[in-house]
Chain A
């Protein structure tokens, strides 16, 4: 029962708040080793134009699960547009080796509701219930702190 409930939590479709898609222009400044802003929240199906500005060395921006990449030379701006047709939270990362902390230069784009977080919360609550339920018949006499 718990396994089925867990699977249901992980894969059942969840409703998305429907908001009218907008055209957005987002300017992201990249410097070693951060994106500003580092966290962006948009609505599903927004048409997003990203303007990447590099403030020190060459930086890139690659968005997880989207075929979207930009590269901006020092002091230059690179611009491209994509449609946010996948919902959830996606990391964007620097795609050009820019220094020692380059592999950890990460930002976060949230498209609509973060359904994975909701599923995760639900599954963790179920975990606690499952733990309690699975040991509900344990005889008390064998327990350590009472001996």
Chain B
């Protein structure tokens, strides 16, 4: 398949190789992150008047799904502020390569590896989502807790253990980065094989060895490997979307669970945040009440039993219909690739209706970020009621259709026959039709 190596362009190469451009972007995001925490903790309690709510849950969350992941894979991770303070300590300096700084540098326990905790974190956020997404102070505390946790873990464990194994957004970005159009790979495998020092692996905060990279799921695009490679043998490729998906890539069971949690979450978020059922919204918000416990039970039953159950059923049928028997575990992992384009496009479709209707809140909170009556840029009172339009509805339909075509193609490609792929195609169809009904119906 065709690739365009950005490092072939001298200007792009020098931008990627220098630590300064990335540092400037990360400094901006870190400043924004700290301001968001302060706004959440000390600003207006009215969510729609608070910078923390609007910028985290509308602007950033939308940008991640409509811009960063579809156009750059894990590009957000390369400028994410959360691991920065800990990483500076680990490195013993702000613009230093990975080296001998502070920290115990322990390895993350093997039994706790994979994306299980990331999926659990995403479930946890979803369970309390109606409250967290609408309460500025809770958002502030959650962000503060996350950055402190990442900092503490970086003092105990090596590299970006928090990002690799705990961060729910890292899990979300990593899963869907497999469909993204950017990858870091080696140019010439022979050069790496003959290089005994493996400086790229030693420098990588993600613990990846570029020669062994087959998937972009765990590469945070930090470019440290490119900076330390003595042979300039690292390529940053623009590639066709979905290059990591297909019969030649390896996948794990935890990826399947993460993908299923994402599918279930987008279904439930569509019901709670975009649906006309007020009682469900109130139940999701009233944490600790009887109605919330019922909501939580249905939420967990859907995410842990119903959606995974349908998936397991489809995979079992696929095994039965296949010409060669594979184990259930192997098939569950292999077919997890199907969930990537299906989930990504469903999240994009969800976000379109969310963003179109809610972007009206952006300018007013820039003008008055804390809700204290300021009018910095003259837009404090400019909030209007956003709305879905015919264009946004058509876009949502097209996104779901792309997701269904794409995931069906992946299902067919990893199956031994069309007959074997049919249960997975049916699974994708049921999910897409349900999303369509929730968003457009």
By a beta-carbon cutoff of 8 Å, the part of chain A in contact with chain B is 6, 10, 31-36, 38-39, 60, 62, 64-65, 69, 88-91, 93, 95, 97, 100-108, 114, 116-117, 119-121, 123-124, 126-128, 130-132, 134-136, 138, 140, 142-147
Contacts and interface: CB of A to CB of B under 8 A. Distances in A.
B135 A100 contact: yes
Interface of A is mostly: mixed
A130 B394 contact: no
Contact of B334 (A39, A95, A119, A144): A144
B266 to A, nearest CB: 15
Interface string B383-423: 00111111001100110111011101100111111101000
Contact of A145 (B47, B408, B414, B425): B414
Contact of A106 (B276, B318, B415): B276
Contacts of B351: none
Interface residues of B, number: 65
A133 to B, nearest CB: 10
Nearest to A37: B276
B134 A116 contact: no
Interface of B: 46-49, 130, 134-135, 246-248, 272-279, 281-282, 285, 318, 322-324, 326, 331, 334, 357-358, 361, 385-390, 393-394, 397-398, 400-402, 404-406, 408-409, 412-418, 420, 425, 429, 432-433, 436-437, 440-441
Nearest to B318: A145
Nearest to B279: A34
Contact of B322 (A91, A116, A127, A145): A145
Contact of A89 (B135, B326, B389, B440): B440
A97 B433 contact: no
A71 to B, nearest CB: 11
14 contacts: A10-B397, A31-B278, A32-B282, A35-B276, A36-B278, A62-B385, A116-B393, A116-B397, A120-B397, A124-B400, A127-B402, A138-B413, A145-B331, A146-B323
A97 B361 CA distance: 11
A102 B277 CA distance: 13
A134 B279 CA distance: 44
A42 B323 CA distance: 53
B404 A124 contact: yes
Interface centre among A60, A90, A106 (most CB of B within 10 A): A106
Given A120-B397, A145-B420, A65 B387 contact: yes
A128 B425 contact: yes
